[in-house]
Chains A and B, each alone.
Chain A
């Protein structure tokens, strides 16, 4: 009887969170209704979903935007002014006139005023970029991620990390340090030319339970080097919530200063120092202890180098020069360092290997605040299929806002 119920539940499970009339056929709706009458577990799940639906629907609506985005209304005014002072325009003329409507890979003449506006926007971008770097931005971009479970369904952007896990490239460290009532455990780690990855967790000794851990500060020193190769401060509280509900322990990925170590290194001898934690129960994330203290771990890691290419390849299109001065193609990610590009300018990019678009890409732009990369921008990609250890022609195509052109960089991988 129990088996029959389980089988029925697995058949019905996908229907439990349906709402739209077309999600279920008439027969399926009847089957679901009958099933809910005999299966309390499914009925409870369905009830949860209905509760959620009702809860969200009772939220007050959000006030809409007062008007179209300013960039569009200004082009609309431009368009109106043009129409008032000249002959009516053909549709094709209007297309060329409108500031923000791109037609890729065409080179239509632009309206004078539109060109001035573009210049103003570029100037503003430069001002923002300069002010950003002068404002003391974080020296290292470090961010928490889901810990890597080889069997876990991947969170967005984490598929590569899961692949690393599946390929047994993560090294078991399993070192622990006591700090008051807590034991901090560094479980696994990985390093390549782009990223350091740590997985750590905290055990409360008095209760014997694992607790939430939010790291306040991290120093990573390569033995024999004076300065840290990575350092950061806190992980975000918002992330704790996510961790709490997936019952996972935190991990950290750090983008680090690749210039701080010789490229022929094959093993990393690391000293990792973690300072100051937010620790709390997984059952109630609102009760966090802030614990001051330091724990250090000393261990060695194999270095998965990847390709570090110094290129200095410039492409000029429509008066804008972008310089791809470095590409780092490593197993965990591919980073492109580009001068002349600000995050706000980038509309999208595509990456292809031997003419085949690399699919399943997830992208994130991070400002590279490292000293030797100032005034540059890193296009970072965590792809489902990294081009590391592959030969051929890697092509990076960049599209900028308000530019019809494409900036194309090609890299030959041997």
Chain B
């Protein structure tokens, strides 16, 4: 059953059923949003597998928080807000906890001098190129951008969802675009060099 195509009252009825603890109703919502939430989260964190793990966390949190949900018609944006919080928490913890053992991983580099483009992973596909460029966009800008493009939300909806002003969302999306374009251009020569090899 495709809930996103369902009329508002039908969606609201399913959400209300889920709110009462009806797991079958929640399964219907899960099926409707599963792919979109997985894609959204994978794009934010830059890794499909981690995106799916975070999607699990998102649906679990959604299930637990359902009794407190006020407006069933806004289930979609509510779910995306949870997903965004899960993703930003994850990225923050990554910043706090990830220690990269460069010296252990790259023992020969210190003698070898500067790293060259050729030292980096093999041929980069266009999709990989886009993903790498997206990963260079600051997380909060990335979230706004992906809510707009992947989530299909208007800037007003994103503003409500993230508790920010509409003007901020507009600025963040623009900055995301600028950062993405710079990263894309910057990474392009590497890609091109690899393609020509």
Contacts and interface: CB of A to CB of B under 8 A. Distances in A.
Given A49-B177, A244-B136, A63 B48 contact: yes
A288 interface: yes
A60 interface: yes
Contacts of A355: none
Nearest to B47: A62
A155 B140 contact: yes
B59 interface: yes
A245 B26 contact: no
B156 A102 contact: no
A285 B115 CA distance: 10
B51 to A, nearest CB: 6
Contact of B135 (A16, A157, A241): A241
Given A52-B145, A71-B60, A234-B102, A242 B138 contact: yes
B162 to A, nearest CB: 11
Contacts of A63: 38, 48, 52
A62 B99 contact: no
Contacts, number: 215
Given A238-B135, A290-B106, A13 B174 contact: yes
Say which size band chain B's interface belongs to.
Answer: 35 or more
B77 interface: no
A144 B95 contact: yes
B136 A241 contact: yes
Given A101-B64, A239-B95, A292 B110 contact: yes
Given A59-B127, A238-B135, A68 B30 contact: yes
A69 interface: yes
Contact of B116 (A18, A58, A75, A287): A287
B99 A233 contact: yes
29 contacts: A13-B170, A52-B145, A55-B184, A56-B43, A56-B146, A56-B150, A62-B38, A62-B48, A63-B38, A64-B34, A65-B34, A68-B27, A68-B30, A69-B60, A76-B27, A138-B97, A216-B102, A234-B101, A236-B95, A236-B99, A245-B179, A246-B138, A278-B102, A287-B116, A289-B115, A290-B102, A290-B115, A292-B110, A364-B89
Given A64-B38, A244-B136, 12 more contacts: A17-B148, A21-B154, A45-B177, A52-B145, A55-B184, A62-B35, A68-B27, A156-B140, A234-B101, A290-B102, A364-B92, A364-B93
